[in-house]
Every structure is written in structure tokens, then in C-alpha cells.
Structure 1
Amino acid sequence: MAVYRSGDLACVTHFMTRWPANTIAFHPTLPLAAIGTGAYDGGWTYEGELLLLNLSTGTTVSVLACPREVRQVAWRDPQTLDLVLAIPCDEDEQRFGTTSLACSIQRDDWDRAATAMLRMPFGETPVPDGPQADLALAAAIVERLCLERGLRWVARRAVWAVDSLPDGRIIAALEGVCLECWSPASEEPLWRVPTDGAGCQVNVLPDRRTALAVTQTAPRFEDRRWTTDPSIVAQVDLESGALEMIHEPAWPAIVVSRADGWWALRGTEHTGQGAPEEITLRSPDGAPAATVSLGRYDLFNHFFGIRYAPDLLFLQGRTDKPSRDKWVVAVDVPEGSMQRLFPLEWDEARGGHLFGGCGAYLDDGAGPALVHTGSIHNRAGLLPGNAFVVRRAYPTGEVQWIFTADHQATALDADSDFVYVTFNSGELVLLRTEDGAVHARQELRVNGHRVVPLSLVRLSPDRLAIGTLDGRVLVCSLTASPDPAGD
């Protein structure tokens, strides 16, 4: 969420919400805004918050004692706040005949809001589900406000992937954009390939003239079940942005690649009985080769994106429970033979349930290794110290060093000197490749406001490109104590 000054639209405060923001209402007399957030979790509950934002200080307070999705807020008068909340969970829909419940809360201390001060029950009554917010209309209003003030505004969100090209250009995939290309000297992209969904992966092929770009539309909730369209894998000419070839798997998928250009499609559908259990191997020119049974994909912890890998690497779980007992496996080409390399969990005594993550292959003075991220699952959520970056000998998996963190890693790149890691807390950390010691760490800010990094690529020994949640591509200069600055 962000608050902008009405005159010049300068950002005066900026903060992250735990759930998507649905609605906002300004208090009729106080410098206060009520913000409703939340969403369905996809399986049972409707969670969210009611936030009160002090417009003078920029501080926020979450006032609901229990998480609930807040769909509408309106101030009836200075003391009364009208709300529309979602039902707590699926089983309540049959009882109420709707997923929306209305209530009103009257207080005279809104200017002294305290955490969790609003407790159940709220005296809710069923109301018909309202129409979804018109995002196109909201974007048009913002664009009009900017034009009236001589400003140019373009909606950009979530840069999920970035990569670099030998001539210094940067390519990025983001919401609404399959792939775009930037020159360091340009203020506009050299070319852009739009998409109806989100660009979520980029794999530059060894010729450095073409790239595979994966796009995916958002899941839809229809007839009490989630439906996800198949992914599209576009082969894009990096000089002109022209589409050379389109690969259309029959299901949502991710691309896993290795350094020589061989790649594979792995289906990510996990909700139905028809979920694919095979991966399809492809040669560098896109021709299909063998298919290999790898077991079902698991939503949270099957992805294992390793840069510069000499093999096609995957996580494979148990046949009966794909989320359990993960092993790192390598699939050879073109025949598709598979080799189990090492368990994802390196501490047998702990017996942890580990989630996979992003990483990179390197071969330095200490020998070949994988440096990868991940986290240890706990039913209470991600506990402090349960996220990690680990260096492991390749292909045997012996642990050489571990760096622990409190927040999930979002992207990683590495060279012979440093491992560069970003976290969803907004932090960039540089670790020494040889021993994992912290060389430097920096909170990423643009114009004084914290940004959340989603993707990263090393451009040179002293420069990184970082894609952010709010649609930016930052070019960060590294010094002894990095102070990244967005270009």
C-alpha cells in the first residue's frame, strides 16, 4: 500500500500488507484510513486484516483479533464503521447461503486504535456476494490523475524473472509481459512481448540469441474448485523480440534447464487425479525427446531452480506422498535415465520436512557444488532461523556450509567469489562462496521506501539486476558495503 500527496503525487508513505488489499475508506474527520485486506486461501479459510492507517504518522495497526478477509469498509459517521467480511471458512457457506457477512462497529476511540482490539462476535448478517473490483477501472483512474498532473504512469507488477545478455542488455518477465528487453542506456524497453497472464520464467539458451519464456494465467475459482489453464512456453528472438516458436503443454508447467541447452517441462498441476507425473525432455532446438515418470508435483516444495546446472535437476518425493522424503535427482538425456543423488534433508536426526528453492551450480577451488536455498516446514509457519542457504558438494550432497535466515529466499546467483541472495524481507545478502561468511547485507530501498525483491541476476563483479514486487528492474552497484540504487 502507498499514500501519495495530492498535488505532485509524491509517495509519502509505503508499507506491505500481509494479504491483498481489497478496499479503503478515509475517516470523515480524523487523519485515518481503514484498509480491508484478505483472500481465500484456496482450501478452507478466508483470511485477512482490517488495518487502520494513521495518515499523519504513517503507522498501521491491525485491529481484528482473528484473521478475516475484509471485502468492504465504509465510515457511516465518525464513530461507526460498516464492514463486509468474508465467512470464516468453507463450511459456513452452506449455513449462510453466501460468502459475505455485513456488520457495523461503533467506537469513539478510533484515533487510539490498538492491535486486536476488535473481538468476535460482530453481529454479522448475510449479504449477497458483491461484484469483484474492476481493476481496469482503477488503473484508468490512476492514469487519468497522473495525466492531469503531467505525469506518465504505467501499471507494472511483480518482475518474476530477470537475466542478462553478453552485450549488457537485461531481459525481464513480469505480470502482463511475457518478456521485455532493456538497454542500460534506455528509459524505455527496446522491445516487449505482452501476455494475458504473467511472465514467470526466463531461460536464455546457450546461443545467447534466443530464450524460453514461460507464461501462466492466474487460477480461477469456479464451481467450488480451482481451475488453472495450461502454461505457454515461448521461444523468443532476443534481438527483435519476435516469437520463433510456441510450446503448449497440456497442463501448467515449469521449465528446468541445464547449461548445454537441454531442458524439460514438468507439470505443476497438483489438485486433481489427472495431475501429470511425467516430465518431457526437450533438446536445445525444442524437439521432444523422452518422457520420464517423476511422480506428482507438490505445491510448496518440488521446485528446484538451479542456475548453470550440468544436469537436469529435480526434487522427487515418495510415490504415495510426493511431499515427503525429498531427494535431489538428475535426469540424463536423451534417453531419460534417472539417478538419485542425495536427500534434500542432510540432518537425519532432525528429520525435517524441507522445502526446496532456487540455487546455482559452481566449480571453484573447493570443487563442484550446488548452492541452494530452502526452508524447514513447520505447521506454525516459517519459524526464525528455519530458512537457509546451503553449499553442498556435487553430486554427493555433503554440506560444506550453512547460512540460516528468518525469511524466505526469493532469488540467488553466484560466482567464484560471492553468493548473492535476496529475501522477501527486502534484504540483499552477499555470502563468501568458500565458507558462507557474510560479506555484506543491505535492505533494498528506492527513494527511501523498502521494496521486495523477487528475482536477481549478476551483471558483472560489481553490479546486479533485481526484479521487484512493484514492477521495477533495479540495477544495483556493489561496493565494500553495498548501497544498491535503482536505475
Structure 2
Amino acid sequence: MILRIDRVHADRPFAEAGNPRLAVTDERLGLLAVTGTVGHDRPASTAVYRTSDLTCVALLRSRHHAHALAFHPELPLLAVGTGRYDGGYHNEGELLLLDLGSGRAVSAFHDPTGRTVRGLEWRDGHTLRLSLEPVSKDAQDPQVEHLVDLHRPDWRRPEPRSVRGAELGNSTTRPLTAHPLPDPGPVLDRHRPGRGPGGVVHDVRLLDDGRVLVSSDGALLECRLPSGEVSWSVPAAPHGGARLVVAPDQRSAWVHVGPWYVPDLPDSVSRIDLSTGTRTARVRLSAPADLHAGPDGLPVLVPRGSRYVPRDDLHLRRGSGTSFCTVGTSRGPGGTHQRWVGAADPVPLPGAEEPLAPDAPPLGESGPLLAPDRTPPRPLFPLSPLPGEDHDGGPGVELPGGDLLQAGARWRREGRRPGDCYLARRDPADGTLRWLFRTDRPAVVLDTDGTHAYAGYDSGDVLALSSTDGTLRGWGRLTLRGAPLVPTALTVTAPGRLLVGTECGRLLECAFA
């Protein structure tokens, strides 16, 4: 089976770059470079577009946000300076050189930690000037910035890791000054006004009448008509929605708000009238919990031990039986730490069983405070399906009959190796392994129609596996006008049909055939 994209919703200009923070135009090449942020704790994106038709011709992902962009004055080459303070000691970052002809990018600094690059300027066709922050907060003079001129006779084929510390040390200094980024809005609006908000999509649902519900960084909940038009949108205030549960009668939905990276913001769940987009109820949570649909389709809360929920925990995408979660660690063979899969007792959401009141009035920020049960989850079996190994988790889904389908990856101190990632089907009682399918990258989204399991990856790949024996049945890559798309939400709407939300805020109707 091959994956095809049948329809694209929420398309917008410059979506590949996320929320733009800097834009630079090269009139000679007819190109526009845009860099932006793409959600919390996600790789930053820099996209290059043709100004004639805004086709994305190159896309670069970096570990840190970009602070500077500079087109080479003669060659099809873009220099990108990135960096951040790591919170402890270093000002780390990269100098990335993107070949606009081949799309190939190299990281120029030899030291993997690198330096924070705040400014870039091509002095001529051979010399690139860098403005660098001090190596660390404990530098001899942390209140100066370092100016370094990199000279190369030919920048056509820059070598990776070719800029060593000695070359960066040959610098002049000047007082450290702020480098405010110019507003990219005027530049982008000259090419395409009315860009509209974006944001990482966290959950998607298709209603029986063809409407699509979307929770994202850009909106608590949004409803799109079958025509693709927005019927209504509940704005993020200031954070958008995460997991959502649709009522069995499809008249209302509950949306979870609780970004783990904002420690002072308590979790909450809001009920939204799906005919008007009115928020009719809100429950504040005194302890961290995840929102799930119970066996009767009504929302329940599954307590979790910590507000911090990293992506390498087990996240159950769909399930009505056991409420799986990740619990604690224990000392395993050879001194490894093994995390376990546990079972938590779900807590009904107050008022969820009550029908939506007709003409329910809007609700403000108030709401009752709910204290989810703090009973520790019951450990069931090690998170790793293979004995003696320490594994990271990932998305999970309950299969018909109750078996657990989970994504994961082996953890190694030296880094992952090819084949260290996998999808596995396991017995929900004791974790017995039914089958295991190995991959080189961890799955980021997962769902099933019972016959097949569908897994999406940050490369844009989507796999279809037999849920019975794990055999690969289909494959495809998500791209739009040549640019790759990263899936961040995936829902099966019918056998072989998928609704996919992406990192750039788009919605894709897809099918395997």
C-alpha cells in the first residue's frame, strides 16, 4: 500500500518556518529566507522560498533557534547562526551553511557544543564575520562579544566541523550589545499578506457530519467545516489545547490544557459546545493528570506522578481498558535503570455525564478545583519489551482485545544505533512480547483501525503494519510542494484513512491504497 494525500486544510504561507522571527530577502537570487519557532522543545526551522511563487526550495532544522541569516553575495549559499544559553554554563550554538542548490547543510564548528552566533555579515565573497557571545557565563569578561572573520578562498563546498577553536579565538571584542531581531512581518507581508496564526497540532478528530476538530498551540479548539472553512475557533489564552475527547453524542468536547513546560500553570479541562464554540464548563486540576476517553466514551482523568511529561514516556493515544502510564525506575541487570509500565485508576470528570444544556452561557476562567486520586499506579511490567535493556517510551494505543501497541527506543549512553527503535505488541497483563518491528527512528504518533497500525515519524514517513504480526504493509512520506511535513497528531477516521496534524499547523486527509 502507498500513502497519498487527498486534501490539505489550514494551508498558509511560510508554514514550514513555524512562527516567523526573522526574514531576509536576496533580490539577486529571488529568494526569501524565514526562520521561526515551532512549539516548545522542538527543532527550530529555517525555510527558503522563491519570491516568485513562494515555493519552499530548502528546509533546515536546527537544534537551537536561529538569530542571524545571511545570503552569500555571489554563491547560492545561506549562513545561519543559532544558539542558546544552556541554563548552566555554556552559550552553545552552531554556524550552519546551507547549499541552496543541493539542499545540503553542514555544521561548521568543530566543537559539538559550539558557540552562540548572534550576528552574521558577509564582508565580501571570501570573508564571513561572526558575532559570538562569550563561551560561558563564567568567561573572563562576560560583558563583551567576540567578532571573528572566517576567510575561505572558496565557499562552494564548506567542510563540516572545519572551524576549530583556534580560529574562533582569533577575535576582536566590543561591549556586549543587544541584537534585537527586526520584525519579519513587513518583509513577509510584502510577499503574502494575511498569513494567519499557526501552531503545532496536538490532536485531531473527524465528526460524523464531516466537521474536523483541531487542538493546537494556536487555538484551544478549532472547528473546520467540510469545505475547509473555519466555523469557529476558541483562542489560546495564552496556551492552546492538547488532548481532546468528543462526547458520544458529538454535541460537545473536552479539551485538556496543561503544557508541562510552564510549571506555574495548573492543568485544566474545558468543555466546548461544538455548535457555537462556547466554553460551557471548566475544571481546574490540583495535580497533573492526562485526559482520556473511558469505556463509555466519556472523559476521565488518569493521574500522573509528575507535571513534567517528556516525550520519551509512554503516552496512550487511544484506549478504553487499562489506563497505562510510565512509573518510576528500578535497578536492572548490569546496573541499568528500568522504567515500568503501570496501571492507573481513572478519575471521572465531574459533570461529564450531564447532557449539554441548551443555550449554555459562556464561562470565564473560573471553575471547580478537582484533586485527582494520588494513588500510585500499579507496576505491571518493564517498559522495555527486551530483558536487560533500558528503553525510552513513546506513543501507545490499545488494540481490539486489549493488547498494548507501543513505540519505543533503546537508550544508550553513546547514542542510538540503527535498529534501536521499534513498534511492539504486548500482552497487557504481563508484557509478553507478541511481535516487534525495528526502525532507525522513534515513532512520534500512532493509531490503529484494528487491522493495521499506523505510525508517523519526524522524517515525515508514515508506516502501515499488520496489527496481527507486525508485517510492513504500506509506506509513504508526507510532503507538500516538495517540502517534508512532520506529523504531530494522527487519527484513523476509517479503515486505511488518516487525519494527520502537522508540526507546521496543517491538516492532511490521507489514505493508504
State the TM-score, normalizing by the size of structure 1: 0.79
Change (3 A) 1:45 1:422: farther
1:73 maps to 120
- 1:263 corresponds to which of 295, 300, 308: 300
Q: Deviations over 1:271-309 (max 9, x none)?
A: xxxxxxxx5xxxxxxxxxxxxxx4785645434224123
How far is 1:42 from its partner?
A: 4.8
Q: Identity over aligned residues, as a percent?
A: 32
Verify: 1:314 aligned to 2:355, yes or no.
no
2:30 maps to none
Verify: 1:325 aligned to 2:338, yes or no.
yes
Q: Is the 8 A contact 1:232 1:246 kept in 2?
A: yes
Change (3 A) 1:75 1:265: farther
Structure 1: runs of 5+ lacking an equivalent: 221-226, 267-278, 280-293, 480-487
Verify: 1:346 aligned to 2:346, yes or no.
no
1:146 maps to 192
1:128 maps to 176
Please provide the CA RMSD for this pair. Answer: 3.0
Task: Please state whether the residue corresponding to 1:16 is helix, strand or coil.
Answer: strand
Runs of 4 or more, structure 1, over 6 Å off, are: none
Aligned-partner Cα distance in 2 for 1:382–1:369:
27
How far is 1:114 from its partner?
A: 1.6
Aligned-partner Cα distance in 2 for 1:300–1:6:
37
- 1:202 corresponds to which of 211, 224, 244: 244
1:289 maps to none
Change (3 A) 1:62 1:331: closer
Q: Is the 8 A contact 1:161 1:200 kept in 2?
A: yes
Task: Please state whether the residue corresponding to 1:382 is helix, strand or coil.
Answer: coil
Change (3 A) 1:405 1:11: same
Verify: 1:436 aligned to 2:470, yes or no.
yes
- 2:269 corresponds to which of 211, 233, 240: 233
Alignment of 1:5-404 (within 5 A): 5-42=50-87, 45-67=90-112, 68=114, 69-89=116-136, 92-93=137-138, 95-98=140-143, 101-121=146-166, 122-123=168-169, 124=171, 125=173, 127-128=175-176, 130-131=178-179, 133=181, 137-147=183-193, 152-186=194-228, 188-195=229-236, 196-216=238-258, 219=261, 229-249=265-285, 254-260=290-296, 261-264=298-301, 266=303, 279=304, 294=305, 299=310, 301-318=312-329, 324-333=337-346, 338-348=377-387, 351-363=388-400, 367-404=401-438
Q: Deviations over 1:56-77 (max 9, x none)?
A: 4433222221232323212223
- Which amino acid is 2:396 matched to? G
How far is 1:167 from its partner?
A: 2.5
Aligned-partner Cα distance in 1 for 2:130–2:442:
33
Q: Which moved more, 1:169-178 or 1:414-423?
A: 169-178
Change (3 A) 1:95 1:253: farther
Verify: 1:412 aligned to 2:446, yes or no.
yes
Q: Deviations over 1:54-97 (max 9, x none)?
A: 334433222221232323212223222221334445xx435432
How far is 1:357 from its partner?
A: 1.5
1:469 maps to 503
Change (3 A) 1:440 1:120: same
Q: Is the 8 A contact 2:338 2:389 kept in 1?
A: no
Q: Is the 8 A contact 2:293 2:320 kept in 1?
A: yes
Change (3 A) 1:422 1:298: closer
Aligned-partner Cα distance in 2 for 1:84–1:253:
45
Change (3 A) 1:59 1:247: same
Aligned-partner Cα distance in 2 for 1:145–1:340:
56
Structure 2: runs of 5+ lacking an equivalent: 1-45, 348-372
State the TM-score, normalizing by the size of structure 2: 0.76
- Which amino acid is 1:49 matched to? E
Aligned-partner Cα distance in 2 for 1:162–1:255:
14
How far is 1:218 from its partner?
A: 8.7
Q: RCO higher in 1 or 2 (8 Å CA, sep ≥ 6)?
A: 2
Aligned-partner Cα distance in 2 for 1:139–1:27:
23
- Which amino acid is 2:100 matched to? L
- Which amino acid is 1:55 matched to? L
